[in-house]
Amino acid sequence: MSYKLLFVCLGNICRSPSAENIMNYLIEQSELTERIICDSAGTSSYHIGSPPDRRMSAAAMQKLGFKLRGQARQFQRSDFEEFDLILAMDRENYHNILYLDPTGKYEEKVQLMCDFCSQYTLKEVPDPYYGGSEGFNQVIDLLMDACGGLLEHITSQELDLRS
């Protein structure tokens, strides 16, 4: 049985596909591709079907050596059932996700991405969309930290329960 992660931002073209691709890279390095599955989505419908933002992909290529893959989709109620952990990039995304769960049934599944950082103290992954290249680079660094911490959390807490 695999553990399923969903990364969520606003449009699903910058932060969440970066998190998905970085996490897949770390999962591959750890030889856990059969155990952990990743996807990403946006709370809005602005960019459905679009590939990751070219500026975000350029930052990933420059810092990590790979281009971002994926196609934007919108978060749906069924994602609560489908995924074990839903990671919001910022508080607004977090609240927008929980808004679709009025009974609070899935609240424990939704967490902020930065809660898994060990090097950075930021509480939210800032949206780089309207800024310059430095913002995209910062997002990559922040997500590398958070994804590393997340993988550590999953391998120490969650996968032990499922083996």
Per-residue pLDDT tens over the stretch 24-67 = 999 999 999 999 999 999 999 999 999 999 999 999 999 999 99
pLDDT at 161: 45
pTM for this entry = 0.96
**Per-residue tokens: 105:** 């049934």
Catalytic residues: 9, 15, 127
Query: What is the residue-averaged pLDDT of the chain?
Result: 95
pLDDT digits (tens, 9 = 90+) for 136-147: 999 999 999 999
User: Read out DSSP for 27-84?
Assistant: HHHTT-TTTEEEEEEESSSTTTTPPPPHHHHHHHHHHHS--------B--THHHHH-S
Structure letter (DSSP) for residue 132: -
